[in-house]
Structure 1
Amino acid sequence: MKKINILFKSFTAFIIALAMVSCEIDSFSEESEFEFGDIVAPSNLQMSVEIVGGGTGDGSGTVHFSASATGAVNYKFVYNGQETLAADGKMTYNFAKVGTHDYTVAVIAMGMAGTTTSLSQTVTVLSVYSPPAELVSILSDKPLRVLAEEGAHFGVGPLDATSGVWYSANPYDKETSGMYDDRYTFSRYNSGGTFNHDTGADGEVFGKAPALQSWWGDKGAVTNACCNEHENYPLETYQSNYTLSAPGGVETISIDKGFLGFCVANGSYQILARTSTTLFVKTTFAGENNAWFVLLGQTD
């Protein structure tokens, strides 16, 4: 009888505790309310412009844009149909069409819950750059490819680096990716030209997943576990336009919507070194604030 009495007391205590928890939950549900406040789009969006050299410029065609807005968490610049994310609100364009021309650049300030505010501005810029014959020859005499057989043909480092100090590929390091069979063809330059990216027999390319998706959409490609990259992103051969310039004396290839080797959704490539048949180029990825390097050479 004593044992039964103990069990009865324990069961009673359990029922009382359960009732108390239930009351606490009801009290929390009825009395505790959370408010997230109004969802407001970014406001007071402003964009400042610095044309290098003042006026219509010094002939380099380089223009710096800087945007700011209250409540913005990110920025996107749009020029000639190409969208580029810039978390710090800063973007530089090299307008290479020879002569004095008008260019319109838009900036989109992105806020919480997908809200946006946009602003556009037109600038008048002078470009007098004429690329050296040797550079034109390297680009247009034969298609280019990533020199997979060479060390340091692909790499990444900080923004101010001139080589892949964080990672530098050994020969054929990325042979399972869609990069090595791609071919890049530049038409003969005449104040601009056409860029053709043949994505090879596999019809696949290599690049950062957010970058590829921002340009060509989500195609269900596998994202690698380490680096948020699509190693085998399906993409048909495509064409775009390109220009050449030399801001600050640095020869630069600007592709409207296209890339060389590895996609970071930035078509601007500084030429750090070149021979009669090779180019070592650098581009930057705003999404991670780093720099990427590719060694290209003419096909045989």
Structure 2
Amino acid sequence: MLPDSGADVVAGDHEWDEVGDLPPDPDVDFYGDPGFSERHSELAAGYGGSGDPDDPAQVQAMQMVLHLPKTDPPARSDLLAAAAGAAVALCLDPRVGSAGEWEQPYLAWKRSRIRKVARRARGAQWAAANEVPGVTVESGGALVRALVPGPVGSVDPRIRRLQIGGTDLESDDPGPVPLDVPVFWVNAALGMTVGKAAAQVGHASMLFAGALPVEQARAWAQRGFACAVREAEPDEWEMLRTAVARSAATAVRDAGFTEVAPGSTTVIATRPARLDHR
């Protein structure tokens, strides 16, 4: 199966300083991180500067592992929020920065296409996936691990054995849209599987963070990249497209290698509706 395609940012003009009264990330002090600005600059520089290699096994992709236990699986919206957070968390992790241990594989991936492959795991499979270098993010009890990118022909055996398709999660009703975090709106009309949608919200979180001024991105990082995911029905989607046209939202267009037609707009990211200040 081909990895999920790269994506293009359409528009984004974000002006917010803080994202609610959320707990800080306990592992990284982004406010005291001197390398954050450089990593954000790299993220903001865009993607796709080099084409695909002649050898398909050398195509670069980020593997994303979705924790889908057999009993009591997570809500779809929570799992997608965790996927969005995990993708951008890896991209702004100190280890992808200058002289970091993940710098070279990260740059090789980012400067080609931001392809992603979503896989599912449970039990011992999930435990094994957490031994592979990457970043795990939790949202509403859902867990997703974004792994350090690399060639699709050299995926760690513990990850390669994980199933890519075959399981989906039904749409849920997560309640009112939160006012104090970014929201990633998934185009419901496309009927994307949870794996495809996970890759797309991962694209969206990267594009959204890259479009932010660095200090606003830093504030979001310090709060663990908290976000929400909602499905947008056709009427809502039209309003969101209008926001993109006004440069008030950020959109993801898919190259169409899997599930959707080339050029489909899959996700639109909106900034927090309420601007909180410390």
Name the structure where helix makes up a greater proportion of residues: 2
Query: Please, what TM-score do these two structures have when normalized by structure 1?
Result: 0.24
Name the larger-Rg structure.
1
Which has the higher relative contact order, 1 or 2, with Cα contacts under 8 A spaced 6 or more apart? 2
Query: Please, what TM-score do these two structures have when normalized by structure 2?
Result: 0.25
